[in-house]
Copies of this chain bind each other. A is one copy, B any other.
Amino acid sequence: MVVFINGQFVDEKEASLGIADLSIQRGYGIFDFFRTRKNIALFIDDYLDRFFSSAHLLHLQPAYDKKAIKNFLAEIMRRNGIETSGIKLILTGGYSTDGFEPGNPNLIITQQALEVSSKEKFEKGIKIILHEYLRDVPTAKSINYLMAVYLRDKILAHKADDVLYYKDDKVLEFPRSNVFIVTKDKTIVTPAENVLQGITRKKVLELAGRKYKTETRSITTSELRDSAEVFLTSTTKRLLPVLEVDGKPIGNGEVGEITRGLYNSFVELEDEYFRMNEAKSN
């Protein structure tokens, strides 16, 4: 597999950063991640906008603009020839002279074969636990996943699939996904503040708004538990139904019809995006 580092394409085995980089010294950097199919990057403009927004929030100035990065993406796809993949951009704090002050950011682009989460997984749904935690600078997609990696053991101990953060009784987000609830009167709600602005979240909000009332506002943990349906959204998982929270079922404990409908609409939206962009590139 070929990896991009600061303008060079190198084999992944040789892809490395000097130990003075601020990601290694201080866990400082941002990233983004999106999927490709037939060498077309899904919702790429949304993802690149968020990448630059995260960089800006953490005071990192990438050496390349959006157009240059799109060219690198085209080149890495051409070299690797993996049609269905996940592509990750990492922008680190760069080489620090004193192990604390940022240097010029290092940009890494990696690609891996990736199938999106299956329909079977959707129908199985997931069980989650709650944990009180607010991410630092939550609107930036930073590389700081200390708490997420740390909580792996807690998730395992509770035989759960994921952990949902809340703070001061307000539901926030999963370490790598956004959360939605469907209220008993069929309103689709997702937290507005102190969460990462997920691209799948954004698209699902748009889709939901065509059929239902939607709200972005705070959700208490008890409102979450009393919801008709709960689901998460993420780039790799699309939508996944949450069937159990802290050992207690949501609704009747089965996949909800509104969640299933939104999942189907999202799959259609993806297909449409790929179809249109394939047509453009022909």
Using CB atoms and an 8 Å cutoff, list the residues of chain A in contact with chain B: 3, 5, 12-13, 15-19, 21-29, 58-59, 88, 90, 92-93, 99-102, 108, 110, 133, 136-137, 142-150, 152-153
Contacts and interface: CB of A to CB of B under 8 A. Distances in A.
A21 B18 contact: no
Given A25-B143, A26-B143, A19 B110 contact: yes
A13 B19 CA distance: 9
25 contacts: A13-B18, A15-B18, A15-B19, A16-B16, A16-B19, A17-B24, A19-B90, A19-B110, A23-B23, A23-B27, A24-B29, A24-B90, A24-B92, A26-B145, A26-B149, A27-B142, A27-B144, A27-B145, A28-B149, A58-B146, A58-B150, A100-B145, A100-B149, A102-B149, A133-B136
Given A24-B90, A144-B144, 19 more contacts: A3-B19, A15-B18, A16-B18, A17-B17, A17-B24, A19-B108, A21-B24, A22-B149, A24-B24, A24-B108, A24-B143, A26-B144, A26-B148, A26-B149, A59-B150, A59-B152, A136-B146, A136-B150, A142-B146
Q: Which of A12, A27, A28, A93 has the most CB of B within 10 A?
A: A27
A223 B180 CA distance: 43
Contacts of A21: 24
Nearest to A88: B99
A232 to B, nearest CB: 16
A141 to B, nearest CB: 12
Given A15-B18, A19-B17, A110-B19, A28 B90 contact: no
What's the number of copies of this chain in the assembled complex? 2
A59 B156 CA distance: 14
A2 to B, nearest CB: 12
A33 to B, nearest CB: 9
